[in-house]
Structures are given as structure tokens and as C-alpha cells.
Amino acid sequence: MRYVTRKNNRYYYQRGYPARVVDKAPSRYFSMVLDAKTVDSEVELAKAVAVANEAFEIEVRRLENSDAQTAVRDRVAERLTKRSKRSAQTPKRLSQLWKPYCSFRNVQQDGSQRYKQKLSNWNRALSFIGDHPLVRSTDGDQQGPP
């Protein structure tokens, strides 16, 4: 029977999507496991294949009617949402590590000459390096080196 294969005593329906919808489909092939309980004879197998053919046609119509631009917009929105959730959970820039650095190095933020020198050095380093966003490896527990 066309589009039907048998593996390990189970019947599978697999059919390639038409070229007009293959770019919208999740994969190149539509596949479906045929219900083993209903496949006792050729007649039952033909009925199961008819059900699978109908499911295939419905899927093709759904893909034809779907808007590719909507799918792209949804994927972009999903990625932006994930990115914004990630950035909301972590400090955003290197410059925000000044206070944790001071507490780790026991630098008193009192305006003393020592504090002003450390702050000047920090600002000079940031101007040379740039105030880059943090990555996960730099945003650990911020307790300093091991």
C-alpha cells in the first residue's frame, strides 16, 4: 500500500509535503502511526490509511492557509521575550559591578583618597574595556575568585 511501511509489527504512514507548503511545514514529511488495533486485515489497513490521508490533507490545507509572516513574527516575539526575561534576572552591564567589587575588596565608599583612586582606576578600566553586557559566566555569585 502506498505511503505505508511496517516496522516492528507496527504500521506507519509517511508522506512528503507538497512543494507549495514544505517551507511552512515542521519537517519534509508528514508521518503518523497507524493504530495497531485496527490493522487486523487489509480492509482495516485501508480504513486506517484513509484516516491518515484525511489527516494529511487537513494538515496541508492548514499549512496553505497559514501566514508565513505571522509565524516569523511569533518566533521573533518569542525570542525577544526569552531575552528580556534573561536580562531582567541578571545585572545588565559591567559598570553595575562596582558596588559588589567594593564589598569584595573591603573598599569603604566614604569619599576618601583611597576610594577616589580606586574609583578612578575602575572608570579608566571601563573606558578602555567598554561597558559591555554581562554573560552568564561573569554573573555568578559575585563573591570573587575561588
Distance CA 105, CA 122 (A): 13
* Distance set, CA 52 to CA 58, 62, 64 (Å): 10, 15, 18
DSSP alpha helices (H): ranges in 1-146? 42-65, 68-89, 98-104, 113-129
Question: 81 in a domain, yes or no?
Answer: no
Would you say residue 137 has pLDDT above 80? no
Question: Domain tally for the chain?
Answer: 2
pLDDT band at residue 146 using 50, 70 and 90 as cut-offs: very low
Burial class (CB in 10 A: 0-12, 13-18, 19+), 12: middle
Would you say residue 16 has pLDDT above 90? yes
The last residue of a domain, from among 35, 66, 97: 66
Question: 37 in a domain, yes or no?
Answer: yes
Question: 11 in a domain, yes or no?
Answer: yes
* Distance set, CA 62 to CA 13, 17, 19, 27, 30 (Å): 19, 12, 15, 15, 13
Question: 78 in a domain, yes or no?
Answer: no
- Fill in the amino acid letter for 2: R
Distance CA 119, CA 123 (A): 6
Specify whether 99 is located in the same domain as 133.
yes
Question: 79 in a domain, yes or no?
Answer: no
Whole-number average pLDDT of the chain:
80
Asked if 71 contacts 45 with a C-beta cutoff of 8 angstroms, the reply is no
Domain that residue 128 falls in = 86-138
Please give the average per-residue pLDDT across 18-44, as a whole number: 81
Task: Check residues 29 and 92 and name the one with the higher pLDDT.
Answer: 29
Q: What is the pLDDT of residues 57-103, one digit of tens each?
A: 999 888 887 766 666 767 777 777 777 666 555 577 888 888 888 88
